[in-house]
């Protein structure tokens, strides 16, 4: 899992942000976030991602900050379903490897939404690359068994070929254009400060 130090907005007190570590598993479409009190608990809260909204896709009402501020532009809204993540370490010829698994939530599971703020444009762009490589989950939970990261794509648990349904993108819209809208003013401000 890739780890990025971020700030997460408090779900009860909007406008209050606490530092956390966000972990992303691109192959499984998983996000995990640490507890604000126990940063060593990497899998404190986990979700199977369904949708990510970068600025200006998410609504102004989701943050208290000035919507045109640099902080708002470094913020994303991630939505999905709760998931339980486990892992096991295995020995492979190339060296030890950690295999992650998740269990899908039961039918009727509550949807999750997190507001995540990145510390830098580079961290935001790294996360966006990971989000874009993920396949979004269906927001309809099922009681299907756990899925292992070691399964090759296109093959189910029984080894049968799986036909891929129409692909929905994790981040809708023209992501490159929106990243440019975020990047350009920040780069201009940076060059004014250094010049």
- pLDDT tens digit string along 87-99? 778 888 888 887 7
Per-residue model confidence (pLDDT) at position 59: 95
Query: How do residues 123-167 score in pLDDT, each as one tens digit?
Result: 999 999 999 998 888 776 454 444 444 434 443 444 444 444 445
Query: At residue 183, does pLDDT exceed 80?
Result: yes
Per-residue model confidence (pLDDT) at position 188: 83
Q: Which CATH architecture has domain 2-157+165-194?
A: Roll (2.30)
Per the prediction, the chain carries an average pLDDT of 80
pLDDT category of residue 182 using cuts at 50, 70 and 90? very high
User: How is the chain split into domains, by residue range?
Assistant: 2-157+165-194
Q: How many helices (H) and strands (E) does the chain have?
A: 3, 9
DSSP reduced 3-state for 81: strand
CB–CB of 128/175 below 8 Å?
yes
């Amino acid at each position: 899992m890739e780890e990025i130090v971020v700030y997460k907005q408090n779900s009860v007190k909007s406008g209050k942000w606490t530092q956390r570590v966000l972990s992303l598993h691109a192959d499984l479409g998983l996000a995990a976030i640490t507890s604000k009190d126990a940063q060593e608990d990497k899998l404190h809260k986990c979700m199977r991602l369904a949708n990510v909204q970068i600025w200006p896709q998410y609504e102004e009402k989701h943050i208290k900050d000035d919507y045109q501020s640099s902080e708002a532009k470094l913020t994303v809204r991630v939505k999905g379903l709760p998931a339980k993540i486990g892992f096991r370490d295995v020995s492979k010829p190339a060296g030890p490897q950690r295999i992650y698994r998740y269990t899908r939530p039961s039918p009727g599971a509550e949807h999750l939404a997190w507001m995540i703020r990145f510390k830098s444009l580079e961290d935001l762009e790294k996360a966006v690359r990971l989000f874009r490589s993920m396949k979004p989950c269906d927001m309809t939970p099922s009681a299907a068994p756990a899925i292992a990261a070691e399964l090759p794509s296109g093959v189910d648990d029984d080894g049968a070929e799986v036909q891929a349904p129409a692909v929905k993108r994790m981040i809708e819209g023209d992501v490159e254009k929106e990243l440019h809208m975020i990047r350009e003013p920040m780069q201009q401000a940076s060059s004014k400060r250094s010049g």
